[in-house]
Amino acid sequence: MPLRLPFTRVHLTGREADYIARVMEANHFAGDGPFTSRCEAWLQQTIGSTRALLTHSGTAALEMAAILSGVGEGDEVIMPSFTFSSTANAFVLRGARPVFVDIDRRTLNIDPAAVAAAVTSRTRAIVPVHYAGEAADMDALESIARDAGAMIIEDAAQALLSSHQGRFLGSIGTMGALSFHQTKNVASGEGGALLINDPNLVERAEIVREKGTNRSRFHRGEVDKYTWVDIGSSYLPGELIAAFLFAQLEQAESITAKRLALWDRYHAALEWLEQEGRLVRSASRGNGHIYYVLLRSIEERTEVIDALRGKGIYAVFHYVPLHSAPAGIRYGRSSGTLNVTDDVSARLLRLPLWPDMTDDDVDVVAQALAVALRTVTTT
């Protein structure tokens, strides 16, 4: 069966090739050129962060945030187990220990009660992950962080243009990390951005991103030569990536609107299956990044994935919880039970969702899912 409905596809806005051609004409390929500036200005104006710095990945943005947070040996960073390795890796690379806590059953976001119970005298940071672009309970987390003297770093990799009570995600914590990986709503293949909401961190962030040099100040004419002043690495993308990304960002709002319309269509099409107790629908509308359903068991999910694949429909599961992953066991520790995480990660199924899907495509997937659930042999 040929591939008919992939899990995800990047929506091309039509300007990408033109902008890339301009980079070639200008012969400026290294980072921090005009398209990098345009992307950063767009992010600052739209999201409302003090400073946005493009990075070559969401992972790189998290690594920069970990360096800037100042965590080190003996410090603890509280985060959900239900996330991608990069959330934890960034802090492990600084010598800190991730403390994995459970998620809320409805939103699949970090459970504030579990966070409060995990706080110790070593806690330095709390890292909510806005799963599927749905906001974590930021009010509760801000109050816990204040009491603990910890900073909040938002893993907003999936959350571009999602908001929480009028504030864009990524602009609420001390820092936020965005991803523009091919699989995200706005994509440049690999790509990301660090959002900085504390003006005191901006200068050091520029240094960390430029191999530990004060090159950014040199370019602004603030120093007459640049030199190695701090730790850092090479975290900035080249201009070809930034040019592609800017074409995407210009259309970010319409891309989000299309995804939300498809999300709503899935939600309506699957309502009867939920009423019949066959599945639980997503409660994470956010920015339309993911439409997921919870099936009844891992065995049923495996059968459904195979049945859909037989029809050319690519539905996929998601995280292997970090608390049970080999590196999670080696470098982290768990706090409290992780029952929701274990349960949900075994039963969650993500359905195809990309801006150029049609309403008919959504109906085909919903129909095929209903058929697959009728014919499964396990529950």
Ligand X SMILES: *Cc1c(COP(=O)(O)O)cnc(C)c1O
Q: Which residues bind ligand X (CB under 6 A)?
A: 57-59, 83-84, 86-87, 129, 155, 157-158, 179, 181, 192
For residue 11, the minimal CB distance to ligand X (Å) is 17
**N residues, the chain:** 379
For residue 9, the minimal CB distance to ligand X (Å) is 16
For residue 187, the minimal CB distance to ligand X (Å) is 9
Tell me the C-alpha distance between 54 and 39, whole Å: 8
Beta carbon nearer to ligand X, 136 or 293: 136
Beta carbon nearer to ligand X, 169 or 243: 169
> 125: Cβ–Cβ under 8 A, 6 or more apart, which residues?
69, 71, 75, 77, 78, 91, 150, 151, 152, 153
For residue 83, the minimal CB distance to ligand X (Å) is 5
Q: Please count the other Cβ atoms lying within 10 Å of the Cβ belonging to residue 296.
A: 16
Tell me the C-alpha distance between 106 and 284, whole Å: 8
For residue 63, the minimal CB distance to ligand X (Å) is 9
Closest residue to ligand X in the complex (CB): 58
Beta carbon nearer to ligand X, 118 or 129: 129
Beta carbon nearer to ligand X, 57 or 334: 57
End-to-end Cα spacing for the chain: 26
Query: Which amino acid, residue 116?
Result: A
Q: Rounded to 5 degrees, what are φ and ψ at 267?
A: -60, -40
Beta carbon nearer to ligand X, 129 or 207: 129
For residue 98, the minimal CB distance to ligand X (Å) is 13
Q: Rounded to 5 degrees, what are φ and ψ at 248?
A: -75, -45
Beta carbon nearer to ligand X, 102 or 155: 155
At what angle are helices 16-26 and 239-249 packed, to 10 degrees?
150
DSSP string covering 61-115, please? HHHHHHHHHT--TT-EEEEESSS-HHHHHHHHTTT-EEEEE-B-TTT-SB-HHHH
**158 to each of 18, 130, 203, 330, how far by Cα in Å?**
27, 7, 26, 27
Beta carbon nearer to ligand X, 87 or 335: 87
